[in-house]
Amino acid sequence: MSKTTTKKSKSATVSRKTKLGRPMMGSEILVEALEREGVDTIFAYPGGASMELHQALTRSKQIRTILPRHEQGGAFAAEGYARATGKTGVCMGTSGPGATNLVTGIADAWMDSVPMVALTGQVPQPMIGKGAFQETDIYGMSLSVVKHSYLVTDIKEVPRVIKEAFHIARTGRPGPVLVDFPKDLQQQKTQPVWPEKLNLPGYPDPPRANYLELNEIIGLIEKADRPVLYCGGGVITGEASEELRTFVKATKIPVTTTIMGVGCFPETDDLSLRWLGMHGAAYANWAVSGQLKRDANGNTRKVADGADLLLAFGVRFDDRVTGKVEKFCEHGTIVHVDIDRSEHNKNRQVHLPVHSDVKYALGKLAAMVKKRPIRKKFTTWHKQIAKWKKKAPFRYNVNDQSLEVEHLRDDLSKREEIIMPQHVLQELYKQTKGDAIVTTGVGQHQMWSGQYYKWTFPRQLLTSAGLGAMGFGYPAALGAKVARPDKQVVDIDGDGSFLMNVQELATAHIENIAAKAIILNNQHLGMVVQWEDRFYAGNRGHTYLGDPDNRRQIYPNYVEICKGFNVKSERVIRKADLHGALKRMLAAKEPYVLDVIVPYTEHVLPFIPAGHTVADMIW
Ligand SMILES: Cc1ncc(C[n+]2csc(CCOP(=O)(O)OP(=O)(O)O)c2C)c(N)n1
Ligand SMILES: [Mg+2]
């Protein structure tokens, strides 16, 4: 045996030995298990049942522990981190209220397929079921919004559980995994055994479309005259953006996305139809379902045909996209490629369901059309789309009604002085050269963000799409900025949404996280106001956020609030002041909030009322 071989076999023995670690406390084992998964950041708020874990975290040289000021903020921040990178976001809370405060964030990650591991401290095992102080059955409570969950009952299981949790969270269709960890186990000691391999019977490897299915898709494209690609968040989480772009370049098929899918294809490209659905581009909706009109008798009349072939990748036919689902692309052949078989025919019956990883399917399709180019050029279809784009771009007017708005009346006297919310987005797009990562709250500002900023790269718009959770914007921006310090990260928020996690200004300041926020402050729950105007004759049902005793002042005073947090902030009321204020905000190397005062009288258009069809689109 040569010297080298001896050396080799020696180190092999050592490495085999390292699988069995030194005796450690359960809390330390958990932290090392996280380190072994490559975790560099955790958003964690302590309490009695998790402080042991925090003690162990203080000794970690790898993990940055960020203290959010509310567990919901921590969960959203972990999501921001995950959505911006594709890596698994990690958050932690104590038992009872700490755990329940995480639930909205967990549900959000579930709805939008975001990889997340949520850790919770639990009361000691002998106390479980006794109604102990801060005991909740978080395992049971979160069951319907997790991809998987664990209640650890044996300290020896910790290394395996954490390895599995991360694997499940980030592979296949990603999602949140909960690990509930009783305090007595955190304090027990054992020699951990670090598993090298996973053993998850029944957990599938990514499915792959077969040649016949892919060939059939190519055949359908060859037969089609009006094909459209409809791409969702799955293309982004599946890292299939490059493959999509290559496929589109070769086939010249126009692309629309869901709001979860924006950025998978550049919206600056002529073949982009931007995003579709309730508040999506009119031309995207027409391209999918046809240009339809309702006549005086209430009958639907066709003006122009929509897609005869819809190629859906990584989407779920969400009701905000389809409206009345049976009318969605009513006359087209629908192909649905998805990694999750349970999405097939769930909301919409399709002609060809294909169970596949989208990256694999798009990559193969791109290679196939490169080898055997599509003969069709779709010239007439492209012309029709260009006509639609010209007819109904995203647009807005400044109306006189805005001058009557109580909270603007004292400061503004001319139309030209009013800041329209859409204009703020256009200005931000200009000043950031389209390169910022943007997070949002939920409401009108969210939809305008989608419409008036143009998305060109994946993981650029981070928004609570499926759950629609107000309060998501600023904590998500913190998580994104921690993950991508090289990028300008801006939260476009509503006054209602921002207030829901306003405490995270403290996290931003104390942790030096230079995430910016623009509040489009209309003093109202604008999106609900819009529905009140359309469907309830404008009767206000608790949608005013200002002070009813003084409707002329702006309430609350965000500039004063920010001062209390030592966060720089400015209020902008006049249009002429916006440019400079934005410039100062973007130049700042620290958190910065712009409180931009806008009217509440504006509606988000286009608008297809829930459950309706393109024929009812207001634009
Ligand atoms: C946690 C939560 N509660 C309630 C709602 C219902 N909701 C949807 S949009 C909206 C209004 C949001 O107001 P604001 O954040 O000011 O945004 P705006 O629409 O005014 O731009 C409300 C209340 C929600 N989406 N999330
Ligand atoms: Mg508002």
Q: How far apart are CA 31 and CA 290, in angstroms?
A: 55
State in Å: Cα 505 to ligand 2 middle.
19
Alpha carbon of 445 to ligand 2 centroid (Å): 8
Reduce the DSSP state of residue 70 to 3 states and report it: coil
Which two structure tokens, joined as six digits, stand for 533?
């105007």
Pick the ligand that lies closest to the CA of residue 76.
1
- Tens digit of each residue's pLDDT (9 = 90 or more) over 319-363: 999 999 999 999 999 999 999 999 999 999 999 999 999 999 999
> Which residue reads 């490209």 in tokens?
269
pLDDT at 4 over 80: no
Please tell me the number of the ligand nearest to residue 500's CA: 1
Ligand 1 pocket: which of 405, 493, 525 to mutate (most atoms within 8 A of CB): 525
Q: How confident is the model at residue 188 (pLDDT cuts 50, 70, 90)?
A: very high
How many CB atoms are closer than 10 A to CB 135? 18
Rounded to the nearest 10 degrees, how much is the dihedral formed by the CA atoms of 144, 146, 152, 158?
170
Task: Give the Cα separation of 54 and 78 in Å (integer).
Answer: 17
Burial class (CB in 10 A: 0-12, 13-18, 19+), 406: middle
Phi, psi of 448, rounded to the nearest 5 degrees: -65, -35
Nearest residue (CA) to ligand 1, atom 2? 470
pLDDT at residue 154 in the model: 98
Helix (H, G, I), strand (E, B) or coil at 605: coil
Separation CA 381–CA 392 (nearest Å): 17
Give the count of beta carbons closer than 10 Å to the beta carbon of residue 31: 26
> pLDDT of 163-177, one tens digit each?
999 999 999 999 999
What pLDDT, on a 0 to 100 scale, did the predictor assign at position 20? Answer: 85
Q: Residues 555-569: what's their mean pLDDT? A: 98
Strands 291-294 and 300-304: what pairing? antiparallel
Contacts of 493 (CB under 8 A, 6+ apart): 440, 441, 445, 473, 474, 517, 518, 519, 520
293: enclosing H helix or E strand = strand 291-294
pLDDT of residue 403: 83
Residue nearest atom 3 in ligand 1 by C-alpha distance = 470
Which atom of ligand 1 has the smallest separation from the CA of 441? 15
Task: Tell me which residues are annotated as active site.
Answer: 71, 133-134, 183, 527
Measured in angstroms, how far is the CA atom of residue 350 from the centroid of ligand 1? 33
- E-state strands within 377-479: 437-440, 461-462
pLDDT at residue 8 greater than cutoff 70: no
Q: Give the nearest ligand 1 atom to 525 CA.
A: 13
Segment (H or E) for 595: strand 592-597
Q: Which atom of ligand 1 is nearest to the CA of 527?
A: 19
Q: What is the pLDDT of residue 268?
A: 98
Cα-Cα end-to-end distance for the chain: 81
Confidence category of residue 415, pLDDT binned at 50, 70, 90 = confident
Cα angle 433, 261, 221 (rounded to 5 degrees) comes to 115
Alpha helices in 432-540 (DSSP H): 444-452, 473-483, 495-500, 504-510, 526-535
DSSP 108-142: HHHHTT--EEEEEEE--GGGTTTT-TT---HHHHH
Q: Of 203-207, 414-418, 461-465, 587-591, which gets the smallest average pLDDT?
A: 414-418
**β-bridge partners, 151:** 180
Beta bridge partners of 42: 65
Question: At residue 456, does pLDDT exceed 80?
Answer: yes
What is the reported pTM?
0.96
Ligand 1 centroid–CA 525 distance in Å is 6
pLDDT at 398 over 60: yes
pLDDT value for 30: 98
Mean pLDDT of 67-76: 98
Q: How many CA atoms lie within 13 Å of 246's alpha carbon, on the beta-carbon side?
A: 16
Residue 409: the pLDDT is 86
- Asked whether residue 414 carries a pLDDT value surpassing 80, the answer given is yes
Q: Look at residues 140, 100, 105 and name the one whose alpha carbon lies nearest to residue 120.
A: 100
Please state the atom number of ligand 1 nearest to the C-alpha of residue 543: 23
Helix (H) or strand (E) holding 10: helix 3-18
Which is the closest atom of ligand 1 to the Cα of 522? Answer: 20
Task: Check whether 465 has a pLDDT greater than 60.
Answer: yes
Cα–Cα distance measured from residue 387 to residue 391, given in angstroms and rounded to the nearest whole number: 6
Give the model's pLDDT for residue 366.
98
Q: Is the pLDDT of residue 18 over 60?
A: no
Q: Which residue's alpha carbon is at the smallest distance from atom 23 of ligand 1?
A: 525
The ligand placed nearest to the CA atom of residue 494 is 1
Looking at residue 70, its pLDDT comes to 98
Kindly tell me if the per-residue pLDDT of 2 is higher than 90.
no
What is the CA(514)–ligand 1 centre distance, in A? 25
Report the alpha-carbon distance of residue 241 to residue 231 in Å, rounded: 10
- Per-residue b/e over 387-399, b at no fewer than 16 CB within 10 Å? ebbeebebebebe
What separation in Å is there between the alpha carbon of 477 and the centre of ligand 2?
A: 19
Q: What is the pLDDT of residue 400?
A: 79
User: Which atom of ligand 1 has the smallest separation from the CA of 448?
Assistant: 21
Q: Whose CA is nearest to atom 13 of ligand 1?
A: 525
Q: How far apart are CA 71 and CA 253, in angstroms?
A: 44
- Give the whole-angstrom CA distance, residue 242 versus residue 385: 24
Quick check: 482 and 81 in contact, CB under 8 A? yes
Query: Which pLDDT does position 402 carry in this prediction?
Result: 85
Comparing C-alpha atoms, which of 562, 615, 603, 225 is closest to residue 448? 603
268-289 mean pLDDT:
98
Centre of ligand 1 from the C-alpha of residue 529, in Å: 10
Helix (H) or strand (E) holding 148: strand 148-151
Ligand 1 pocket: which of 527, 533, 604 to mutate (most atoms within 8 A of CB): 527
Between 1 and 236, whose confidence is greater? 236
Which residue is listed with tokens 């180190």? Answer: 11
- Residue (of 226, 250, 241) closest to 314 by Cα position: 241
Which residue's CA lies nearest to atom 5 of ligand 1?
A: 470
Q: Dump pLDDT digits (tens) for 518-559.
A: 999 999 999 999 999 999 999 999 999 999 999 999 999 999
Question: What's at 565, amino acid-wise?
Answer: F
Question: Which ligand is nearest the CA of 446, by number?
Answer: 1
Contact 88, 117 (CB under 8 A): yes
Q: Which residue has the higher pLDDT, 13 or 148?
A: 148
Peptide bond preceding 556 in cis form (omega within 30 of 0): yes
- Residue type for position 250: A
- The model's confidence at residue 5, banded by pLDDT at 50, 70 and 90, is very low
**Ligand 1, atom nearest to 471 Cα:** 1
The stretch 65-70 carries a mean pLDDT of 98
pLDDT of residue 401: 83
| Å from CA of 525 to ligand 2 middle | 4
Q: Please tell me the residue having the least CA distance from ligand 1 atom 4.
A: 470
For residue 201, name the pLDDT band (cuts at 50, 70, 90).
Answer: very high
Q: Is 401 exposed, middle or buried (0-12, 13-18, 19+ CB in 10 A)?
A: exposed
Residue of 603, 552, 577, 263 lying closest to 421 (CA atoms): 603
**Model pLDDT, residue 349:** 95
Residues 6+ apart with CB under 8 A from 206: 171, 172, 339, 357, 360
Distance CA 515, CA 508 (A): 7
Average pLDDT score, the chain: 95
Which has the closest alpha carbon to 358: 215, 247, 269, 251?
247
- Percent of the chain at pLDDT above 90? 93
- Lowest-confidence region among 6-20, 301-315, 494-508: 6-20
Ligand 1: residue of 103, 320, 442 to mutate (most ligand atoms within 8 A of CB) is 442
Q: Of the residues 448, 470, 545, which should be mutated to test ligand 1's pocket, given the most ligand atoms within 8 Å of the CB?
A: 470
DSSP state of 616: G
Ligand nearest to the CA of 501: 1
527 Cα–ligand 1 center, Å:
6
pLDDT bracket for residue 1 (50, 70, 90): very low
Pocket of ligand 1 (CB under 6 A): 441-445, 468-470, 494-497, 520, 522, 524-528
Place of tokens 């939920």: 442
Query: Which residue, by CA, sits nearest to atom 20 of ligand 1?
Result: 526
